[in-house]
Amino acid sequence: MPVKVMIPSPLRPYAGKRDSAEFSARTVGEALGHLTTEFAELRKHLFTEEGKLRSFVNVYVNDEDIRYLAKENTPTKDGDTISIIPSIAGGCISFRHFERSEKSLLALCFGKRKRNLKE
Amino acid sequence: MADAAALWISGSLAEKIRAHGAETYPHECCGALLGRDSSAVLESDGGKSALRPAREILQLFPLVNRRDDSPRNRFSVTAEDVLTAEKAAREQGLEVVGWYHSHPDHPARPSEYDRDHAWPWYSYIIVSVQNGAPQEMTSWRLNDDRAEFSPEGIEIRHRAAV
C-alpha cells in the first residue's frame, strides 16, 4: 500500500483538481518529489528557487509536523498519509523595503558608532 | 490563473471586515473567507446574457493575528488555525476560499511580503485602515507564475450566487 499525499484546495488546480495522490516512497522528500514530477506546476508553489520547502508550506506525516521529525528525510511507510497544510502570512510593509530600511538603520547606527569611537 | 472572477460579498460581511480592521488598529487583523465558487452565473446586461465565474463569500471566520512580535505590519495564521477554519467551513457545506487582513496606515495594495507568502487560488481581501478608520477594500489573486497579484473585482450583493 503506497503513501497518500493530501493536496490542499489552493494547489488542486495544479494537480488535475485532485485532492490526493498516491506514490511509493521511502521518505517525505521522495513522495513530494514524485508529486512535483507528476504535477510539475506544483513545484514553484511548494519549493523556493533553491529547492527548499517554502516557509508557509507545512507538511505532516499522519499528525506529526516533519519540522519536528527529520524534515524531508522523515521516513514513510506504506499506508502513511502526508498532508500539505498551508499557513497564511502577509503584511503591509514590503519585505524588500523593510530589509532596506533595516539595513539603512544599521548603517546609520554603525556609522554613528564609528564616529563616536573616533571622538 | 483561472478566468478573472468576480468576488461577491454582502454589504454586512464587507462591513464586518472593515470593523475588524478598525477594532485591531493599529495592529493588522486577519480572518478566513468561507464560501464557494460558482462555475457559471447568468448575467443580464442590457438584455444580453453571459456566463461568468463568480466566487461568493458567505461567512467570515475572524482569527487572532499570531504575529505578536510585529502585529502592526505583519499577520500570521498558523496551520492549526487554517485547519480550524477549514473544519468550520466544512460543517456548513462551504470551503475556505480566501483570507482577509488589514493594512494599518497603508494602502489596500498587496506588499512584496504579501506576494512572497501568498498561495494561488485563494482570494486575498485587504482593507486599508487610516488613523483607525477603515477605507478602501480590495481583493487579489496570485498569478500562476507567482510574479504578481491580479486584482479581483469586489461586488457587494445582498445575496450572492445561485
- Claim to verify: residue A80 and residue A109 sit in the same structural domain: no
- Claim to verify: residue A62 and residue A19 sit in the same structural domain: yes
Q: Which three cell numbers stand for residue B42?
A: 447568468
B127-A97-B120-A72 Cα dihedral, nearest 10 degrees: -130
Q: What is the ipTM of this complex?
A: 0.87
- Claim to verify: residue A96 and residue A82 sit in the same structural domain: no
Q: Give Cα A12 to chain centroid, integer Å.
A: 17
- Claim to verify: residue A78 and residue A98 sit in the same structural domain: no
- Claim to verify: residue A65 and residue A21 sit in the same structural domain: yes
* Homologous superfamily in CATH for domain B6-156: Cytidine Deaminase, domain 2 (3.40.140.10)
pLDDT at B158: 73
- Claim to verify: residue A7 and residue A59 sit in the same structural domain: yes
Residue of B73, B79, B121 with shortest CB distance to A13: B121
Nearest chain B residue to A45 by CA: give it. B119
Number of H helices, E strands in chain B: 3, 9
Q: With contact defined as beta carbons under 8 Å apart, do B109 and B138 qualify?
A: yes
Structural domains in chain A (count):
2
Q: With contact defined as beta carbons under 8 Å apart, do B75 and B62 qualify?
A: no
Residue of B2, B73, B99 with shortest CB distance to A88: B99
Q: Which residues of A touch B (CB under 8 A)?
A: 9-14, 41, 44-45, 55-56, 58, 65, 85-98
- Cβ-defined contact of B112 to A94 (cutoff 8 Å): yes
CA A53 to CA A48: how far, in whole Å? 6
- Claim to verify: residue A64 and residue A32 sit in the same structural domain: yes
Distance from CA of A54 to the nearest CA of B (A): 8
Residue A113 has pLDDT above 80, yes or no: no
- Claim to verify: residue A39 and residue A54 sit in the same structural domain: yes
Count other C-beta atoms under 10 Å from residue B99's C-beta. Answer: 26
Q: Which residues of A52-81 are buried (b: 16+ CB within 10 A; e: fewer)?
A: ebbebbbbbbeeebbeeeeebebebeeebe
Residue of B103, B117, B121 with shortest CB distance to A56: B117
Which amino acid would we find at residue A80?
D
A53-67, A92-106, B66-80, B100-114: least confident range? A92-106
Distance from CA of B113 to the nearest CA of A (A): 5
CA A64 to CA B125: how far, in whole Å? 31
CA B143 to CA B145: how far, in whole Å? 5
Distance from CA of B16 to the nearest CA of A (A): 20
Domain that holds residue A116: 90-119
Residues of B in contact with A45 (CB under 8 A): 119-120, 146
Residues of A in contact with B77 (CB under 8 A): 87-89
Q: With contact defined as beta carbons under 8 Å apart, do B104 and B72 qualify?
A: yes
Residue B2 has pLDDT above 50, yes or no: no
Which amino acid would we find at residue B74?
R
Q: With contact defined as beta carbons under 8 Å apart, do B101 and B87 qualify?
A: no
- Claim to verify: residue A15 and residue A61 sit in the same structural domain: yes
Dihedral sign (CA A71, A72, A76, A81): positive
Q: A30-43 pLDDT, tens per residue?
A: 999 999 999 999 99
Residue B44 has pLDDT above 80, yes or no: no
- Claim to verify: residue A22 and residue A78 sit in the same structural domain: yes
Whole-model pTM?
0.86
Number of H helices, E strands in chain A: 3, 6
- Claim to verify: residue A79 and residue A105 sit in the same structural domain: no
The domain ranges of chain B are 6-156
Q: With contact defined as beta carbons under 8 Å apart, do A31 and A20 qualify?
A: no
- Band of residue A1 on the pLDDT scale cut at 50, 70, 90: low
Respond yes or no on whether the N-terminal peptide bond of residue B26 is cis (omega within 30° of 0): yes
- Claim to verify: residue A16 and residue A48 sit in the same structural domain: yes
Residues of A in contact with B98 (CB under 8 A): none
Residues of A in contact with B118 (CB under 8 A): 90
- SS3 at position A107: helix
Residue B1 has pLDDT above 80, yes or no: no
Q: For testing the chain A interface, which of B114, B123, B128, B149 should be mutated: the one with the most A CBs within 10 Å?
A: B114
